[in-house]
Amino acid sequence: MRPPGPFREGFFRSPIRGPVLTGILGSILLVLTAIVALTGFLSHIAYMPDLPGNAIVPKDRDFPLTFDWPTSPSWLYALTQGLHTNVGLVVIPFVLAKLWSVFPRLFVWPPAKSPAQAIERLSIALLVSSTIFQLATGVANAQYWYPFKFNFVVAHYYGAIVFVAALAIHVIVKMPMVLRVYKDREWIKPIRQDLDEPTISRRGVIAFAGAGALTLLLGNVGQSIGGPLRKTALFAPRRDSGFPVNKTARQAGITPAMVGDDYQLVLRAGQRVTSLTREDLLALPQHTARLPIACVEGWSTTQEWTGVRLSDLRRRAGASEDATVLVQSLQEAGVLRRASLSADQLGADDAMLALKVNGEDLSLDHGYPARIIVPALPGVHNTKWVAQMDFNREART
Ligand SMILES: Nc1nc2c(c(=O)[nH]1)N[C@H]1C(S)=C(S)[C@@H](COP(=O)(O)O)O[C@H]1N2
Ligand SMILES: [Mo]
């Protein structure tokens, strides 16, 4: 017995639904989601999860492919993460259009004619739910809105694995159908003529989704490029700030007393401990470079930083050139209070412990007395309010 309502044949009447529209939207989405997935996994790799304190998910379950994230060009992470977040937004209207195009399939009766078809439909359920989950959590994170209780990065990472697996099955199953659409050049043929005029053409649906995508892109891309264009990013939180603060000193529990005259940077290498006041740091050779901070949320800002090269600090600490370093912040709680850097990142010419920005002392919110700035490093590892640096040769886990 066929249930009533949408389960009845002929309930959905739009003549433009069908393999042509769905196939074209699917091909557009395949290219876009491939960029988003690739840059997402690159972001995971850029965190260098095999260094102490950097792992996002338990080590034995980590992404199997990894390599040392380069330090040049300095805008590399701004580019990959800018692509991830902006193309991720562009995907949304096309996903909605595609869901609309296949919506009647939700009500096919019987739900599955064979066990194989049941598995295929289950993979689509996973694909749709992981797509919605990834887009929703990604947008919420970029808007600093955390209505969910789980850890965003961990959930978004596992969601990506489900998405890629479900997408692979979907592409294999549907590819013959999509290829047929292109081979028969069906998209240039008119919609069945025996039907009433549709209210919108297939091209109209795609153009409508495209216009939505363009709107989202224009409302966001300015914050990825940074500089004066940041103001144009209408959908970006805090777009009025030319040099945004991710977390203020107050939010991180940093008080002026903690960074006053008693402040000392502690360097450790084996048994050797070196303490440096901010005065001592300023007396060391200073280096200046224009480098971006590129945040996982997709914004970036390029400033002129001045401070002590990390390679000079490594030498002063008495650590060898193959040492990695665990940087710890004065901040007492929170997942961002410590992060490790690789030997290459420590050795990069422009990598520094910044004391000044644009010729002036760092503000408390930007990490006074001293913060890490390394070219092409994800923003989250540019630790602010640095208290301690542990150089360790056997640090790789
Ligand atoms: N100690 C500490 N360092 C930190 C953070 C933090 O919350 N605590 N936030 C990080 C993140 S996510 C980013 S994007 C940059 C932002 O730097 P800014 O606030 O100076 O723009 O600082 C990083 N360093
Ligand atoms: Mo960030």
pLDDT class of 397 with cuts at 50, 70, 90: very low
The number of the ligand nearest the C-alpha atom of 249 reads 1
Residue 279 CB neighbour total at 10 angstroms: 9
- DSSP run (H or E) holding 30: helix 19-46
pLDDT value of position 396: 46
The predicted-structure confidence for 2-31, as pLDDT tens digits, reads as follows 899 999 988 998 889 999 999 999 999 999
What are the sequence ranges of the domains in the chain? 14-218, 249-391
Q: How far is the CA of 393 from the centre of ligand 1 (A)?
A: 26
Alpha carbon 63 to its chain centroid, in Å, reads 15
Residue list, ligand 1 pocket, CB within 6 Å: 244-247, 252, 293, 295, 329, 331, 336-337, 366-367, 379-380, 382-385
**Higher model confidence: residue 397 or residue 142?**
142
pLDDT class of 393 with cuts at 50, 70, 90: low
Could you identify the atom of ligand 1 that is nearest to the CA of residue 366? 20
Report percent pLDDT > 90 for the chain: 84
List of E strands, the chain: 265-269, 272-276, 287-294, 300-309, 324-329, 338-341, 352-357, 360-361, 371-373, 386-392
Q: How far is the CA of 219 from the centre of ligand 2 (A)?
A: 20
Statement: residue 250 has pLDDT above 60: yes
- String of DSSP letters for 315-378: HHHT--TT-EEEEEES--SSGGGEEEE-HHHHH-TT-EEEEEETTEEPPGGGTTT-EEE-TT-B
| Best CA proximity match to 39, nearest among 98, 99, 79 | 79
Q: How far is the CA of 382 from the centre of ligand 2 (A)?
A: 9
Averaged pLDDT for residues 162-169: 97
Q: How far is the CA of 243 from the centre of ligand 1 (A)?
A: 12
The number of the ligand nearest the C-alpha atom of 297 reads 2
The predicted-structure confidence for 183-231, as pLDDT tens digits, reads as follows 988 777 776 665 666 778 899 999 999 999 999 999 999 999 999 999 9
pLDDT value of position 190: 72
Q: How far is the CA of 262 from the centre of ligand 1 (A)?
A: 23
pLDDT class of 79 with cuts at 50, 70, 90: very high
Cα–Cα distances (Å) from 151 to 109, 115, 137, 156, 168, in that order, read 39, 36, 10, 9, 26
| Best CA proximity match to 33, nearest among 155, 145, 128 | 128
Averaged pLDDT for residues 165-182: 95
Extract the tokens encoding 227: 């500089």
Mean pLDDT of the chain: 93
What is the dihedral sign for C-alpha 272, 275, 281, 287?
positive
Residue ranges with CB less than 5 Å from ion ligand 2: 246, 295, 379-380
The least confident of 84-98, 172-186, 309-323 is: 172-186
pLDDT value of position 334: 67
For a substitution probing ligand 1, which of 303, 328, 360, 384 has the most ligand atoms within 8 Å of its CB? 384
b/e string for 207-231 if b means 16 or more Cβ within 10 A? eebeebbeebeebbbbbbbbeeebe
The predicted-structure confidence for 89-108, as pLDDT tens digits, reads as follows 999 999 999 999 999 999 99
Contact predicate 334/254, CB 8 Å: no
The number of the ligand nearest the C-alpha atom of 302 reads 1
The CATH fold assigned to 249-391 is: Sulfite Oxidase; Chain A, domain 2 (3.90.420)
Name, of 113-117, 181-185, 253-257, 307-311, the range with top average pLDDT: 307-311
Residue nearest to atom 11 of ligand 1 (CA): 380
Q: How far is the CA of 264 from the centre of ligand 1 (A)?
A: 20
Cα–Cα distances (Å) from 142 to 53, 131, 247, 299, 375, in that order, read 23, 17, 14, 9, 22
For a substitution probing ligand 1, which of 246, 302, 337, 383 has the most ligand atoms within 8 Å of its CB? 246
Kindly give the pairing relationship between strand 371-373 and strand 287-294: unpaired
Q: How many residues does the chain have?
A: 397
Averaged pLDDT for residues 224-245: 91
| Best CA proximity match to 379, nearest among 57, 45, 39, 78 | 78
